[in-house]
């Protein structure tokens, strides 16, 4: 009898994990869809891009830098303030974040040809999917590996901000190569962390809904950064 109850509990727990990740990936794919549509629409209309992001002198306008850095601030608000925010507020901020990322990503259509973007997207999807499966199925504890990758990421982030203003191509290429390694590794780490969290069964349904949104946001950010890193490494410029 105990064995039957244990098997039933295991099956219910496994189904709960699958339901949780279906919700996580629903958020991730929704964000990718919103960003992709906006990026394609703005990026393929030079007049529209110029109206919003090019100054009268021909350089990048202040609004471009607002769009560039606003998603970073929003991601911190969502991830650090989710306990105090309602589910509706989190969802609206998530949609706003996805839209701003779409505006930011529109610039790649002015730099890279569409075939290079498409090829890189599919390579990114394959790498992301493989590492997500690894993180979900592996029995190895990835927490120490994740901590190391985050330290490397902090160094990359600071270097990237500096390189925006100095424009060193060699430095940008090195950062991109590191990014491919870091973001694929963090994908596996986050998948395992999310799985362990939901398996603990110590969250209410409301908390699970919020964590699913945060998980979708984190995986979306990792995918976009992996895609951009690979695009810099292998993409063909117009």
SS3 label, residue 235 = coil
Q: How many CB atoms lie within 10 A of CB 73?
A: 11
Would you state the structure tokens that stand for residue 171, as one six-digit string?
Answer: 């430095």
CB 235 within 8 A of CB 40: no
**C-alpha angle with apex 234: 233 to 235, nearest 5 degrees?**
105
Q: How far apart, in whole angstroms, are the C-alpha atoms of residue 179 and residue 221?
A: 12
Q: How far apart, in whole angstroms, are the C-alpha atoms of residue 105 and residue 111?
A: 11
Where do we find the tokens 């601030």?
Answer: 73
Closest by Cα among 109, 120, 117, 111 to 42: 109
| pLDDT one digit per residue (tens) for the chain, 238 residues | 545 444 445 556 778 888 999 999 999 999 999 999 999 998 888 777 777 777 667 666 777 778 878 888 999 999 888 888 999 999 999 999 999 999 989 889 888 988 999 999 999 999 999 999 999 999 999 988 888 999 999 999 899 888 878 878 888 889 999 999 999 999 999 999 999 988 876 777 888 899 999 999 999 999 999 999 999 998 766 5
Q: How far apart, in whole angstroms, are the C-alpha atoms of residue 27 and residue 94?
A: 9
């Amino acid at each position: 009898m105990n064995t039957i109850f244990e098997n039933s509990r295991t099956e219910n727990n496994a189904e709960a994990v699958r339901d949780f990740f279906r919700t996580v990936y629903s958020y991730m794919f929704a964000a990718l869809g919103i960003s992709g549509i906006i990026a394609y629409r703005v990026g393929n209309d030079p007049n529209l891009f110029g109206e919003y992001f090019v100054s009268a002198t021909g350089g990048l306008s202040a609004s471009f830098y607002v769009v560039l850095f606003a998603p970073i601030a929003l991601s911190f608000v969502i991830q650090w303030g989710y306990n105090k925010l309602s589910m509706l507020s989190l969802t609206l901020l998530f949609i706003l974040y996805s839209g701003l990322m779409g505006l930011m990503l529109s610039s790649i259509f002015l730099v890279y040809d569409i075939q290079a973007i498409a090829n890189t997207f599919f390579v990114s999807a394959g790498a992301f999917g493989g590492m997500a499966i690894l993180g979900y199925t592996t029995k190895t504890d990835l927490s120490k590996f994740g901590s190391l990758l985050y330290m490397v990421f902090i160094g990359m982030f600071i270097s990237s901000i500096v390189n925006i203003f100095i424009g060193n191509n060699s430095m940008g290429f090195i950062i991109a190569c590191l990014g491919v390694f870091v973001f694929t590794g963090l994908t596996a780490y986050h998948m395992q962390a999310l799985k362990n969290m939901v398996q603990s069964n110590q969250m209410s349904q409301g908390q699970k809904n919020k964590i699913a949104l945060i998980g979708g946001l984190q995986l979306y950010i990792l995918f976009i950064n992996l895609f951009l890193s690979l695009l810099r490494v292998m993409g063909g410029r117009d």
